[in-house]
């Protein structure tokens, strides 16, 4: 049967990742997405990782994990990954008031709180942007489907290329991305090339003031 390969890079900073619940065969991520260093992460079912062809040097042992991890590892980045995870766990312990709570349980508390807070900010942004004439939000905008989206919002305006809008927001101290975000087949199918979309990601350290400032700046730019 088919195997399931999950790219969790955009999920990791916003929701707890549990491969058992997902029922996947493989999962990849990068720690920089959940506030760590730039290092890749690969999880796979042992029975598959033991038999899949590994493109490695011949002298490298053909056992787990060596067949997938050649030579000396990047210990500095590994330390950073652990620190990022501990940060999130500590956030959970602070929120529940139990400094001795184990890491897994603390992470569950942290991500539940992160999801709830980010959802408020996300819909505050969506509601604000929807009030701007001509602006189109790409993605879920129905509050009844709030659980189906993450707090990343993309939008366009027929009179402003995404790059120009991003530049104008940047001049106001508001950082956004523009383009196709490596999903060029999607933006092509949506008829958005060559400009793509403008995108803003929200995380748990953002504030309502920042959201309101973004909406006000966007409205001023598009209205002026």
Global pTM value: 0.92
Angle between helices 75-96 and 103-130 (to 10 degrees): 80
Q: What is the DSSP string of 27-42?
A: EEEEGGGGTS-S-EEE
pLDDT at 185 over 60: yes
Q: Write the burial class of residue 182 (CB in 10 Å: 0-12 exposed, 13-18 middle, 19+ buried).
A: exposed
- Percent of the chain predicted with pLDDT > 90: 96
pLDDT of residue 1: 85
Give per-residue pLDDT as tens, 47-87.
999 999 999 988 999 999 999 998 899 999 999 999 999 99
pLDDT-derived band at 127, boundaries 50, 70, 90? very high
- Choose among 174, 164, 154, 161: nearest CA to 217: 174
Count Cβ atoms below 10 Å from residue 197 Cβ, excluding itself: 26
- The DSSP bridge pattern shows strands 152-156 and 136-138 to be antiparallel
The dihedral built from the CA positions of residue 101, 103, 105 and 106, taken in this order, carries a sign that is positive
pLDDT of residue 125: 98
Domains and CATH numbers, the chain: 5-101 (3.40.640.10), 113-223 (3.90.1150.10)
Q: Work out the end-to-end distance of the chain between its first and last CA atoms, rounded to an integer number of angstroms.
A: 56
**What distance in Å separates the CA atoms of residue 83 and residue 98, rounded to the nearest whole number?**
19
pLDDT at 159 over 90: yes
Q: Which two tokens stand for residue 10?
A: 């955009």
Q: What DSSP character marks residue 4?
A: -
Give per-residue pLDDT as tens, 21-51.
999 999 999 999 999 999 999 999 999 999 9
**Mean pLDDT, the chain, whole residue set:** 96
pLDDT of residue 71: 87
């Amino acid at each position: 049967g088919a195997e399931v390969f999950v790219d969790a890079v955009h999920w990791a900073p916003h929701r707890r990742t549990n491969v058992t619940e997902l029922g996947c065969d493989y999962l990849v991520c990068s720690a920089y997405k959940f506030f760590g260093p730039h290092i890749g992460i690969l999880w796979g079912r042992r029975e598959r990782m033991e038999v899949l062809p590994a493109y490695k040097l011949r002298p490298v042992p053909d056992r787990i994990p060596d067949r997938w991890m050649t030579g000396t590892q990047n210990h500095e980045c590994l330390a950073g990954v652990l620190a990022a995870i501990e940060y999130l766990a500590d956030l959970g312990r602070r929120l529940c008031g139990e400094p001795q709570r184990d890491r897994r349980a603390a992470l569950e508390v942290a991500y539940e709180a992160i999801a709830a807070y980010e959802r408020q900010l996300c819909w505050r942004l969506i509601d604000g942007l929807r009030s701007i004439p001509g602006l189109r939000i790409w993605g879920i905008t129905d509050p009844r489907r709030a659980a189906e989206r993450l707090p990343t919002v993309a939008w366009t305006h027929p009179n402003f290329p995404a790059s120009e809008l991003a530049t104008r927001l940047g001049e106001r101290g508001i950082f956004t991305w523009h383009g196709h975000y490596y999903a060029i087949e999607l933006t092509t199918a949506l008829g958005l090339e060559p400009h793509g979309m403008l995108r803003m990601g929200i995380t748990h350290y953002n504030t309502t003031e920042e959201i309101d400032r973004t909406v006000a700046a966007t409205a001023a730019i598009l209205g002026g």
